[in-house]
Amino acid sequence: MARLKVFISSTCYDLSVVRSQIRTFVQHLGHEPVMSDFNEVLFDPREHTHKSCLQEVGACDAVVLIIGSRFGGTGVPSAFDELDVEALSDLSSSSSVLDSKQKLSITQLEICKAIQDSIPVFAFVDNRVMHDHSVYEANKSAADVVDAIKFPSIEKPETAKYIFEFINFLRHRSEGNSVISFSKVEDISEYLGTQWSSLFQRLLYEDRNRDAERRRIDLFSSQIEDLRAAIMSSIQAPDLRQTASGAIRYRRLIDFVRSLEIPGFHNVLMSTLSWEDVMQSADIVETRTIHGRGPVGRRTALVKSDGTYYEVRFPLRILQELAVHWGSFIELNQDSRRAIIDAVTESSSHGMMQVRYVNEVLASQDELDIDESDEDIPF
Q: Which of 338, 319, 321, 325 is nearest to 269 (CA)?
A: 338
Please say whether the beta carbons of 260 and 355 come within 8 A: yes
Task: Please provide the DSSP assignment of 213-265 as one string.
Answer: HHHHHHHHHHHHHHHHHHHHHH---TTHHHHHHHHHHHHHHHHHHHHTT-TTH
Q: Which of 258, 289, 270, 267 is nearest to 351 (CA)?
A: 258
At position 204, the amino acid (one-letter code) is L
Q: How far apart are alpha carbons 244 and 242 in whole angstroms?
A: 5
Q: Which of 265, 263, 261, 229 is nearest to 247 (CA)?
A: 229
Computed from CA positions of residues 293, 296, 300, 306, in that sequence, does the dihedral angle turn out positive or negative?
Answer: negative
User: pLDDT truncated to tens, each residue of the chain (379 aa)?
Assistant: 789 999 999 998 889 999 999 999 999 999 999 999 888 888 889 999 999 999 999 999 999 999 999 998 999 988 888 899 889 999 999 999 999 888 999 999 999 999 999 999 999 999 999 999 999 999 988 888 888 899 999 999 999 999 999 999 999 999 999 999 999 999 999 999 999 999 999 988 888 888 777 777 777 776 676 666 665 555 555 555 666 666 778 888 888 898 888 888 889 999 999 999 999 999 999 988 776 544 445 678 899 999 999 988 777 788 889 999 999 999 988 888 888 887 777 655 544 456 888 898 887 654 444 444 444 334 4
Domains of the chain: 5-183 (3.40.50), 235-374 (no CATH)
Please say whether the beta carbons of 11 and 38 come within 8 A: no
Rg (CA), the chain: 32
pLDDT score of 231? 59
Q: Which of 168, 90, 176 is nearest to 130 (CA)?
A: 168
Strand-strand pairing, 5-9 and 32-34: parallel
3-state secondary structure 329-372: HCCCCHHHHHHHHHHHHHHCCHHHHCEEEECCCCCCHHHCCCCH
